[in-house]
Amino acid sequence: MVEIDGLYFVIADDLHARFVRPGPDGRLYTIHCADVSNVRCAVNEPDSAVEADARAPPDPTPTEFTRLLTERLNADFAVDLFSQLVVVAPSPVLEDLFAMLDEPTAASMIGSLARDLINVPDLELWPHLRPWLARA
């Protein structure tokens, strides 16, 4: 497996997301897990993040979570946390997410996979993500 600088996999379902990167040892690593309580980007100002969390509905809809995830991806791309994005999620989540990505983040997408892999362990992701990891 080849490490690709700036490659970012987002594996999501309608209420959870995992952010996965290839490591220098050729393995895949989940670097962060998110749900509606912590999906916002860490680059937000602390006060605004606390205020935003206070306004969040107690039982978010899948569309609300996808909107928050999209905001996170747009913010992460804006601060150069990744340069190449692959999103893995069930088809309805992918469709909603694609509709909400801003233009620069959408342009960073090098692929997507319509599959629910949210509960697949890191060690078992490789066969699913091979097309993007095999690039030299």
| CATH number for 109 | 3.30.420
The rounded radius of gyration (Å) of the Cα atoms in the chain is 15
Residue 75 lies in a domain: yes
Number of domains in the chain: 1
Residue 2 lies in a domain: no
Query: What residues make up the domain containing 52?
Result: 7-133
Residue 1 lies in a domain: no
Task: Give the pLDDT score at 49.
Answer: 43
Residue 39 lies in a domain: yes
Q: Burial-class residue 129 by CB neighbours within 10 Å (0-12, 13-18, 19+).
A: buried
122 or 53: whose pLDDT is higher?
A: 122
6 or 51: whose pLDDT is higher?
A: 6
Q: Burial-class residue 132 by CB neighbours within 10 Å (0-12, 13-18, 19+).
A: middle
Do the Cβ atoms of 22 and 7 come closer than 8 Å?
yes
Residue 30 lies in a domain: yes
Residue 102 lies in a domain: yes
Share of the chain above pLDDT 70, in %: 80
Taking only the tens place, the pLDDT of each residue in 45-67 is: 444 444 445 555 456 677 889 99
- Checking if the pLDDT of 44 tops 70, the result is no
Residue 71 lies in a domain: yes
- Checking if the pLDDT of 127 tops 70, the result is yes
Quick one: average pLDDT of 65-84? Answer: 93
Quick one: average pLDDT of 89-95? Answer: 96
